[in-house]
Structure 1
Amino acid sequence: MTASNDFRAFRIHNDAGYRASIETMNTDALSAGEVLVNVAYSSVNYKDALAGTGKGRILRQFPLNGGIDAAGVVAASTDPAFKEGDRVLCTGSGLSETSDGGYGEYVRLSSQWTIPLPEGLDLRQSMILGTAGFTAALALLRMQHNRQSPALGPIAISGASGGVGMLAIDIFSRVGYDVHAISGKAEHFDFLRSLGAVECIDRHTLSFSGKPMDSARFGGALDNVGGPMLAGLLPQIAPYGNVAICGNAGGIAFDSTVMPFIIRGASLLGIASAGTPRDLRDEVWQHLASDWKPRHLDRIATREISLDQLPDVFERMLAGDSFGRTVVRIGKA
């Protein structure tokens, strides 16, 4: 590695109580890894808000820099696969859990999880996508691997006004699916339609029968909510359709039966974006840079902030007062 550098980072501690703030630190103090990256952009995800405020048990060791996403330029590398000046990105993969994350002017990454920026994306676009876009595209990939197709019927997307939901609307509609967006924020329905939703459903007026089986309404679903939402969607999935589950805002438990699975052959697919194997990561990012690239990235990125503005954004996100994707501008692209 090159000579050490001092830099600014949003660092999280848990010694004399949980605390997080902007600090000056040295690259020598960063977590181990083969690739030192000068970070240009990161993003804000719900997981980041939980970690940054201490309202969720995200970090497995302390102290660490926050930020589960990072994109920037290689400053130094001990792995010949990466050289100084290469543009790279990383999402999940232990960032802000077991190693320092992207909320710093530098991050040191394991080469195993460092993704060369694919042609078709710039660094800022890669972080508008970030974990949220990666999650949405991973869900589509797994569903299509399990024979999901537009012919099965529309795709329900719950939590549609969140980052994953918006990007999923854009991605699924671009690929040819009719998207039915479910959201509790009816004031955003026009925006969701402009992203590609053909129908918007108000979560507050949505009711489920509670029966083990119901009329098939959706060809499949991407559920960001869990809990009663997941339980209600499963009986309405068409034969051999898939429900991809990637969130738990509505609770970690759900009450269902085996009937949708053994009568209609429905499948429930878990989307664990943080620990996705490298081959799937590469496949997803290639899609996101080409045939699945959302058409409305700049509109979905509703806010760009600095490191200093993170605490306020965290509180607003946890209070449910967030819309679209927040990009964190850290350094020069």
Structure 2
Amino acid sequence: MLALEHGGLAPERGDILVTGANGGAGSATIALLSDLGYRVVASTGRPKEAEYLRRLGAAEIIDRRTLSAPGAPIAKERWAGVVDSVGSHTLANALAQTQYRGVVAAFGLAQGADLPGSLLPFILRNVTLAGIDSVNAPREVRLQAWSRLATDLDPKKLERITQVVGLAEVTSVAKRMLQGQVRGRTVVDVNA
């Protein structure tokens, strides 16, 4: 969200694509951006989770397969911005579909760490690709992000996104997670 705003995006610019929408970061991003007035399009490989994504604020759901295969170096403009947790072909296709002066924030590698795309979106459309780093982010940036989460993330949506499990459940939850059967953020309560 901060990267999109720093890049000059506002809700009236158009749709924001969120990839990896059922994951913890994707779910929180949908909730945050929709509450800030953005029209959010959620990309997912689990169409059965569409109602969950809509309750978080997604206005539209698309199948991740529309982005995950090799694509054209530049495509019809669709996204004002993108928040990507997937990488690889998905990120390359999202960049190719980003509008003039759009902003793409990338922070994940679920599909891969490669970027098999083209320079055309950057040169022809002045697209910005912002890498999101939570590990080495300066304290000021962290404080700003935490402050915005505290003020902008609806606590009811946070509850919907989060499941708390005990330490004894970690192995079974991890197996379900690897099978794509877990949505949102999982918090481990080591005292439970």
* TM-score between the two structures when normalised by the length of structure 2: 0.92
Q: State the distance in 1 between where 2:98 and 2:11 align.
A: 13
Q: Which residue of 21, 30, 40 corresponds with 1:160?
A: 21
SS of 1:296's partner is helix
**Deviation, structure 1 residue 311:** 2.1
For the pair 1:316 / 2:172, whether they are aligned, the reply is no
Structure 2 unaligned segments of length 5 or more: list them.
none
Q: Which residue of 242, 259, 264 corresponds with 2:125?
A: 264
Corresponding position of 1:328: 188
Corresponding position of 1:281: 142
Instruction: Indicate if the aligned counterparts of 1:170 and 1:294 stay in contact, CA closer than 8 A.
Output: no
**Deviation, structure 1 residue 183:** 0.2
Q: Which residue of 214, 217, 220 corresponds with 2:81?
A: 220
Structure showing the higher strand proportion among its residues: 1
Q: State the distance in 1 between where 2:98 and 2:27 align.
A: 21
Corresponding position of 1:48: none
**Deviation, structure 1 residue 189:** 0.5
**Deviation, structure 1 residue 187:** 0.2
For the pair 1:253 / 2:114, whether they are aligned, the reply is yes
Instruction: Indicate if the aligned counterparts of 2:67 and 2:93 stay in contact, CA closer than 8 A.
Output: no
Instruction: Indicate if the aligned counterparts of 2:87 and 2:110 stay in contact, CA closer than 8 A.
Output: yes
SS of 2:122's partner is helix
Alpha-carbon spacing, 1:222–1:331, altered in 2? closer, same or farther (3 Å):
same
Corresponding position of 1:297: 158
Q: State the distance in 2 between where 1:197 and 1:209 align.
A: 25
Q: Deviations over 1:6-57 (max 9, x none)?
A: xxxxxxxxxxxxxxxxxxxxxxxxxxxxxxxxxxxxxxxxxxxxxxxxxxxx
Q: State the distance in 2 between where 1:227 and 1:207 align.
A: 8
Structure 1 unaligned segments of length 5 or more: list them.
1-139
- Name the Cα RMSD after superposition: 1.9
The number of equivalent residue pairs is 192
* TM-score between the two structures when normalised by the length of structure 1: 0.55
SS of 2:121's partner is helix
Instruction: Indicate if the aligned counterparts of 2:16 and 2:40 stay in contact, CA closer than 8 A.
Output: yes
Matches within 5 A, 1:62-73: none
**Deviation, structure 1 residue 175:** 0.9
Alpha-carbon spacing, 1:326–1:260, altered in 2? closer, same or farther (3 Å):
same
Instruction: Indicate if the aligned counterparts of 2:41 and 2:62 stay in contact, CA closer than 8 A.
Output: yes
For the pair 1:149 / 2:149, whether they are aligned, the reply is no
**Deviation, structure 1 residue 142:** 1.7
- More divergent stretch after superposition (314-323 vs 233-242): 314-323
